Amino acid sequence: MKLWDKGYEPDKLIETFTVGNDRELDLQLARYDVEGSMAHIRMLESIGLLTSDELKVLLEALEDIHAAILRGEFVIEEGVEDVHSEVEQLLTQRLGDIGKKIHSGRSRNDQVLVDLKLFFRDKLRQTAASVGTLFERLQALSEQYKEVLMPGYTHMQIAMPSSFGLWFGAYAETLVDDLRLLASAYDIANQNPLGSAAGYGSSFPLDRTMTTRLLHFGNLHYNVVAAQMSRGKTERAIAAALAAVSATLARFAMDICLFNSQNFGFISFPDELTTGSSIMPHKKNPDVFEIMRAKCNRLQSLPGEVALVTSNLPLGYQRDFQLLKDILFPAFGVMDECIGMCDFMLQHIRVNRDILSDPKYDYLFTVEDVNRLVLQGVPFREAYRQVGMQVQNHTYQPTRTVSHTHEGSIGNLCTAQIREKYEAVAKHFQE
């Protein structure tokens, strides 16, 4: 069954190529398709295109389909083109001509847009919740290890003292910035396109404000052309947001791999959370973080993939948009898997509390000693020269004490203020 059936069947090769795996992906949209249809027919009844009795039987049938979807019993039958066709076919089989009225004032273009925006809204909420869980873990670790010093690096050379509190806390606050991008993508997705039809509206007196309210959209996508233009635009925003979270996780995974190595020895994990070598008996590899790094690096290609599919398309709907499902739908699963695994591993991380006693880290304290001289009245450039000459002459002896008190430093992590930033952004995802 095809909603556009006009008495002929396309060549099977054409159908296979154009449909691809869209039917399988559409199963993820099924519940949203039914929810969108329920809002749509309530609106149709309000403007006189359905009777109250017709609305009642349609809603009962759609509720049955919705329940079957939630039970995992819904399928798109062989020969049925997509989820929209399957739902309409089920209604027509059950209700006859009444089932055929459900599509009035609607096109598959705005129907799939509604499905996608509802789907994206839920997935972005789930991803934001996962980010929130990891944020909490990092903040807790930041407080737990705020007194434990570690080397800070620039150019991969030892630079200045840092701390595990500073390191964990840095990634927590960086996730807040990533959450802002997720919130922006959520705001773009949270606009109602229903009623834009094929992109040019309808001659029916549709009440688009009503469907916006029924579907709990934050706003209406008013201009019907702009509503259709949001296909691709929404996906670009989501791709950028997922890529930002992925960049943070990939960078953190790289830190973990370095710091876990014997050359650093800053952290470790229980043996059962590592993997071994088939030839080297001593190996305990951080494969989880290596796989996480690779998966997150792949996710950072999302904006490029979406851009290449959509960048040179003319106005109006084009079938190219179908491929965006292939790109983004699996990405949400990979993203949440990586965030969840990172949180799990951090529950078992072991921190080396005595790193800086090694003489190779003596030079970490040169800036501390320069600043100490400045506080005693020595001009900064002269203090820098004095300590620099000690280093050059191999006579430098570090003081090995750190006194950082300003906002965001080792001694003043501002954990509570960072939490306030997080909570302000997290509110975007509340209905």
DSSP state of 101: G
CATH of residue 56's domain is: 1.10.275.10
312 plus 375 within the same structural domain: no
Report the pLDDT value the prediction gives residue 4, as an integer from 0 to 100: 43
Distance CA 163, CA 356 (A): 11
DSSP string, 256-269: HHHHHSTTT-SEE-
Residue 403 has pLDDT above 90, yes or no: no
96 plus 164 within the same structural domain: no
What tokens appear for 325 in the block?
A: 């499902």
Question: What residue has token string 């190996």?
Answer: 283
pLDDT digits (tens, 9 = 90+) for 375-395: 999 999 999 999 999 999 999
- Coil, strand, or helix at residue 370? helix
Residue 234 lies in a domain: yes
Distance from chain centroid for Cα 110: 24
pLDDT digits (tens, 9 = 90+) for 336-352: 999 999 999 999 999 99
114 plus 145 within the same structural domain: yes
Residue 119 lies in a domain: yes
Residue 397 lies in a domain: no
What tokens appear for 8 in the block?
A: 């002929």
What pLDDT band is residue 431 in, cutting at 50, 70 and 90?
Answer: low
363 plus 334 within the same structural domain: no
Q: Mean pLDDT throughout 301-312?
A: 94
What pLDDT band is residue 94 in, cutting at 50, 70 and 90?
Answer: very high
The phi-psi region of residue 414 (left if phi > 0; otherwise alpha if psi is between -120 and 50; otherwise beta) is left
Number of domains in the chain: 3
* Among the listed residues 40, 43, 93, 44, the one whose alpha carbon sits nearest the alpha carbon of residue 64: 93
Residue 172 has pLDDT above 80, yes or no: yes
318 plus 421 within the same structural domain: yes
Which is it for the CA torsion 32, 38, 42, 44, positive or negative?
A: positive
Residue 1 lies in a domain: no
Q: What is the value of pTM for the model shown?
A: 0.92
Domain, as residue range, for 377:
359-392
Q: Mean pLDDT throughout 27-55?
A: 96
DSSP state of 409: B
310 plus 332 within the same structural domain: yes
Distance CA 352, CA 363 (A): 20
Q: Mean pLDDT throughout 184-191?
A: 96
Distance CA 41, CA 210 (A): 11
Report the pLDDT value the prediction gives residue 126, as an integer from 0 to 100: 97
209 plus 120 within the same structural domain: yes
Distance CA 21, CA 39 (A): 28
CATH of residue 243's domain is: 1.20.200.10
Residue 50 lies in a domain: yes
Question: Phi and psi dihedrals of 348, rounded to 5?
Answer: -120, 10
266 plus 333 within the same structural domain: yes
Residue 3 lies in a domain: no
Distance from chain centroid for Cα 99: 37
Neighbours of 99 (CB within 10 A): 21
Percent of residues, the chain, with pLDDT higher than 70: 95
Residue 163 has pLDDT above 70, yes or no: yes
Question: What residue has token string 């799990």?
Answer: 344
Percent of residues, the chain, with pLDDT higher than 90: 83
216 plus 271 within the same structural domain: yes
* Among the listed residues 83, 80, 17, the one whose alpha carbon sits nearest the alpha carbon of residue 323: 17
Distance CA 219, CA 240 (A): 22
250 plus 303 within the same structural domain: yes
What pLDDT band is residue 284 in, cutting at 50, 70 and 90?
Answer: confident
* Among the listed residues 140, 30, 47, 143, the one whose alpha carbon sits nearest the alpha carbon of residue 88: 30
Question: Phi and psi dihedrals of 2, rounded to 5?
Answer: -130, 135
Please report, to the nearest 10 degrees, the dihedral formed by the alpha carbons of residues 415, 419, 422, 428 taken in order.
Answer: -170
205 plus 349 within the same structural domain: yes
What tokens appear for 384 in the block?
A: 């820098």
Domain boundary among 104, 131, 148: 104
Neighbours of 76 (CB within 10 A): 20
Domain boundary among 104, 138, 158: 104
Question: Phi and psi dihedrals of 104, rounded to 5?
Answer: -60, 130
Q: Is 95 exposed, middle or buried (0-12, 13-18, 19+ CB in 10 A)?
A: middle
Count Cα atoms within 13 angstroms, Cβ side, for 62: 24
Residue 6 has pLDDT above 60, yes or no: no
Helices (H), 145-223: 164-189, 208-214
- Coil, strand, or helix at residue 387? helix
Residue 6 lies in a domain: no
137 plus 72 within the same structural domain: no
Residue 9 has pLDDT above 70, yes or no: no
- Coil, strand, or helix at residue 151? strand
Residue 398 lies in a domain: no
